[in-house]
């Protein structure tokens, strides 16, 4: 700052450019987005909107203050920009323009907050922030589940806590559903293990955190979560093995593993009828199959461009009311990120989403296998969880799931983008 700068401006610059502000900001944003269900239950949608709007203003001030150190040439990944742009222009053909406008605002707001965090925090700082916030949320969730399931033996209605701790039907914590809670607990477990391996926290904190996360995974009792956990465990084992190999051997092993995965997908697709028939007795699968069938029928009516982006489904808007009435339940998403994307933004939007996730996964996988530090294994493992769970949930398209997707896309792009060294 020059000597002629006003004292107030100089103080503001020092405040918003300080590393402590960036750290506090990342914690607040993560807590807000992970706590959307809690905040919406306590302060309502208007209160949550006001909080996010305030954080967007603070993010803008922080980026202005740190403008000389932010790498603007790699700030916004192209794949992310194109996908978000397609969702945004869907407003012009949307069947429900008002809901689309709100959905676009939510998508852009969370993406902007994630990009601001990515530009001002490095990978280990980001993982530490995620770990600190998740420790609080999991501990609070367990405490409230004990109160509901043991002390008062009844639900806490306004938080969506059903008091299932004792009967084994799966707890929801502060996230509204057991599937969401278990996915958060899995992300927490991976985060805490990496904190332990990198000695980012004390052994005691890491140990108790890992035990708590595993306990939350078991208590959530989510079939979707258990399948996700098995897949992620296999990916983690493969990743650990590849990290110990020489570059030449690693490349051949990656090609072999990729070929096996593709072959397995082809066989599963060829036998999809028999697989679905074998699983047809599952109420969970039947619940989703009826919804997916209706989604496919409606998506086929507007196959190229979709019905218009909306993010979370509005309850009183067509065609979502048709799908909700047909399935006999109230849905806030399509319970599948790929079908949901096809329904809302068509085949073009689905292709752009696949490109976005594909580039992010390839980059994060390359970093995870080639970098020495174990912090780089966090992104591919978390992205694996979001993609696998995305076959039965649409978490990755909205709110905290979307936040994690953008963070991973931005961090992996910043590390490997072809634009990073250009002026």
Q: Express each pLDDT in 119-144 by its tens digit.
A: 999 889 999 999 999 999 999 999 99
For residue 302, what are the domain limits? 7-416
Is residue 2 situated within a structural domain? no
Model pLDDT, residue 255 = 80
The H-or-E segment that residue 311 falls in is none
Is residue 384 situated within a structural domain? yes
Q: Are 30 and 42 in contact (CB under 8 A)?
A: no
Model pLDDT, residue 326 = 52
Is residue 1 situated within a structural domain? no
Model pLDDT, residue 283 = 65
- Tokens linked to 365: 């996988």
Is residue 246 situated within a structural domain? yes
Q: Are 186 and 217 in contact (CB under 8 A)?
A: yes
Model pLDDT, residue 60 = 94
Give ∠ CA 257-263-269 in degrees, rounded to 5: 140
* Whole-number CA gyration radius for the chain: 22
Q: If we measure between CA atoms, which residue out of 81, 101, 84 comes closest to residue 92?
A: 101
pLDDT < 50 positions in the chain? 1-3, 423
* Domain tally, the chain: 1
Q: Are 174 and 140 in contact (CB under 8 A)?
A: yes
Model pLDDT, residue 281 = 53
Provide the 10 A C-beta neighbour count for residue 40.
16
3-state SS of 134-187 is HHHHHHHHHHHHHHHHHHCCCCEHHHCECCCCCCCCCCCCCCCCHHHHHHHHHH
Contacts of residue 39, Cβ cutoff 8 Å, sequence gap at least 6:
32, 47, 48, 51
Model pLDDT, residue 284 = 66
- Tokens linked to 213: 């996360």
Model pLDDT, residue 3 = 46
Q: Are 308 and 94 in contact (CB under 8 A)?
A: yes
Is residue 355 situated within a structural domain? yes
Is residue 421 situated within a structural domain? no
Model pLDDT, residue 277 = 58
Q: If we measure between CA atoms, which residue out of 38, 13, 16 comes closest to residue 25?
A: 16
């Amino acid at each position: 700052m020059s000597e002629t700068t006003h004292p107030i401006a100089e103080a503001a610059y020092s405040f918003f450019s300080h590393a402590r502000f960036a750290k506090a900001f990342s914690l607040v944003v993560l807590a807000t987005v992970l706590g959307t269900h809690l905040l919406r239950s306590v302060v309502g949608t208007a209160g949550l909107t006001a909080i996010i709007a305030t954080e967007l203003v603070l993010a803008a001030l922080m980026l202005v203050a740190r403008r000389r150190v932010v790498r603007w040439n790699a700030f916004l990944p192209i794949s992310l920009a194109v996908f978000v742009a397609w969702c945004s222009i869907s407003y012009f053909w949307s069947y429900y323009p008002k809901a689309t406008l709100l959905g676009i605002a939510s998508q852009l707001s969370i993406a902007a907050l994630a990009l601001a965090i990515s530009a001002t925090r490095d990978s280990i700082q980001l993982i530490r922030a995620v770990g600190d916030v998740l420790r609080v949320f999991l501990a609070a969730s367990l405490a409230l589940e004990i109160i509901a399931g043991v002390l008062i033996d009844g639900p806490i209605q306004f938080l969506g806590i059903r008091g299932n701790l004792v009967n084994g039907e799966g707890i929801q914590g502060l996230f509204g559903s057991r599937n969401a809670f278990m996915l958060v607990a899995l992300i927490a477990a991976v985060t805490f293990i990496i904190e332990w391996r990198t000695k980012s926290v004390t052994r005691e904190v890491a140990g108790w955190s890992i035990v708590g996360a595993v306990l939350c995974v078991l208590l959530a009792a989510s079939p979707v979560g258990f399948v996700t956990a098995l897949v992620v465990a296999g990916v983690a084992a493969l990743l650990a093995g590849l990290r110990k190999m020489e570059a030449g051997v690693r490349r051949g092993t990656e090609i072999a593993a990729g070929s096996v995965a593709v072959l397995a997908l082809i066989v599963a697709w060829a036998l999809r009828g028999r697989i679905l028939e074998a699983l047809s007795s599952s109420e969970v699968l039947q619940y989703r199959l009826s919804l997916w069938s209706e989604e496919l029928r409606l998506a086929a009516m507007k196959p190229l461009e979709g019905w218009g982006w909306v993010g979370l489904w509005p309850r009183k808007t067509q065609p979502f009311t048709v799908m909700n009435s047909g399935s006999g339940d109230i849905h806030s998403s399509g319970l599948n990120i790929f079908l949901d994307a096809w329904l809302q933004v068509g085949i073009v939007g689905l292709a752009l989403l696949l490109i976005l996730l594909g580039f992010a996964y390839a980059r994060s996988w390359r970093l995870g296998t080639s970098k020495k530090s174990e912090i780089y294994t966090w992104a591919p493992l978390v992205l694996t969880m979001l993609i696998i769970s995305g076959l039965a949930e649409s978490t990755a398209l909205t709110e905290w799931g979307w936040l994690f997707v953008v963070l991973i896309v931005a961090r992996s792009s910043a590390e490997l983008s072809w634009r990073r060294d250009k002026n």
